[in-house]
Amino acid sequence: MTVRPTHTLCPHVPVPALPPEGTIGVIAPAGPAALDTDKAVQWMRARGYSLKVFPGVYEKDGYLAGSDDVRLNDLHGAFADDDVNAIICLRGGYGTPRLLDRVDFRLLRDNAKPFIGYSDITALHLAISRYAGFVTFHGPLLNADLLGNKQKPTESSFFNMLRGQVKAGSVLTHPVACPLSTIEPGIAHGRLLGGNLSMIAATMGTPYEIDAEGVILFIEDINEPLYRIDRLLTHLRLAGTLHKLRGVLVGDIAGVDVPALERLLKQTFAPLRIPVLSGWRSGHCDPNVTLPMGALVRLDAGKQELVLEQEVVIR
C-alpha cells in the first residue's frame, strides 16, 4: 500500500550548512549537567570546529540548568549570535516546555541555523516546526552522546547531515548491525516530525502540540514500561492525532521487551492502514542516528528505507 499526499505539503526551510572551521554553540534548555569544557573544546577542535558555551550551561537550579530566564536568554542568544553556526543542547531531562510560551519564534526564524537535540528537546522541535518552519535535527546531545563516546554512526551521521553531505534523494543510513522490523508494509510520503513520545503527549492540548496532518511520525522513549507506552499511544489515538498520519517510524524504546512492543504497535497502527517501520536507532540509544525534523521524506516500510526528499541544509 502506498499512502500518497491528499494535499500539498510545503517543505520546511533548509538551514545553512555547518561550514568548515565553524562555531557550534552549546546551550542547556532543560536539565543541568557538569561539562568538562576543556574536553569538549578539544573534542570539537579535533574535528575542525570551535565551541562557544553559553552561561546557563554552568548553572544549576534544582532539576533545571539555570532559571527560565537564563535558559531562554541562552536560546535566544545562540540564535541571534552571527558567530554561531549551529546549536547543540547539553542534555535533556526536564525544563524545555517551560520556555515555549516565551520563545521569540520570529527571532529564531530570522536567524535559522542547525538546532540539535532529543529527549526533552522534542518540545522545541515541535514548536519550531509549527511557528518558525525550518528544519531542525533530532540528534546527539553534547554530554551523553558526543562526549560519551557512543558508536561511530552517532558522530558521522551528525556531521554528515549538518555539513550538507546528505542530499535530497539520499537513503538515510542506518547501522547494518541494528536490525529493523516492518510492522506494517507500505510506502508513505510526508513530513518527518516527532521525537520523545512522552513529550509529544505532554504538549497535546497546548498551542505547541504536534501538527500531525500529513506527517510521518517518529517516536522514541526511555524508562517507560509497556503499559505506559500503550497509554501514550492511546492518548494520541483518542486525540485524533494518529488518524492524520501517513506513516510511523519507531525509534528506540529503551527497556521495553521488543516482541511485546511490536505486538502493541501492530494493534495500534494496523487499523490505520499506514506503513510502520520499527527499530530505528535514534534517541536514548547507542548509536544515535541524526534525523531531520520537518523535512519531507519517503518511508518504505517494506524495503526498510527512509529517503530524504528535500535538501535540509544549504551551502
Q: Is 154 among the domain residues?
A: yes
Of the listed 119, 129, 198, 278, which one is catalytic? 119
pTM of the model: 0.96
pLDDT for 56 beyond 60: yes
Instruction: Write down the pLDDT at residue 8.
Output: 53
Within this chain, do residues 77 and 35 fall inside the same structural domain, yes or no?
A: yes
CATH of the domain at 124: 3.40.50.10740
Active site residue 119: yes
Q: Is 6 among the domain residues?
A: no
**What is the domain count for the chain?**
2
CATH of the domain at 236: 3.50.30.60
Instruction: Write down the pLDDT at residue 73.
Output: 98
Helices 226-238 & 258-269, crossing angle to 10 degrees?
10
Active site residue 278: no
Which of 6-20, 162-176, 267-281 bottoms out in mean pLDDT, i.e. has the lowest?
Answer: 6-20
pLDDT for 149 beyond 90: no
Active site residue 76: no
**HSE-CB for 44 with a 13 A CA cutoff:** 22
The parent domain of residue 296 ranges over 168-314
pLDDT tens track for 104-139: 999 999 999 999 999 999 999 999 999 999 999 999
For the chain, give the mean pLDDT: 96
Of the listed 129, 184, 284, 311, which one is catalytic? 284
Within this chain, do residues 215 and 252 fall inside the same structural domain, yes or no?
A: yes
Q: Is 212 among the domain residues?
A: yes
Answer with the one of 163, 194, 228 that is the final residue of a domain: 163
Of the listed 155, 184, 209, 220, which one is catalytic? 220
pLDDT for 6 beyond 80: no
Instruction: Write down the pLDDT at residue 241.
Output: 98
Which of 3-7, 170-174, 198-202, 254-258 bottoms out in mean pLDDT, i.e. has the lowest?
Answer: 3-7
pLDDT tens track for 83-101: 999 999 999 999 999 999 9
Q: Is 55 among the domain residues?
A: yes
pLDDT for 10 beyond 90: no
Within this chain, do residues 30 and 136 fall inside the same structural domain, yes or no?
A: yes
Model confidence at 2, in pLDDT bands (50, 70, 90)? low
Within this chain, do residues 75 and 156 fall inside the same structural domain, yes or no?
A: yes
Instruction: Write down the pLDDT at residue 1.
Output: 58
Mean pLDDT for the stretch of residues 236-245: 98
Instruction: Write down the pLDDT at residue 189.
Output: 98
Instruction: Write down the pLDDT at residue 9.
Output: 63
Q: pLDDT above 70 covers what percent of the chain? A: 97
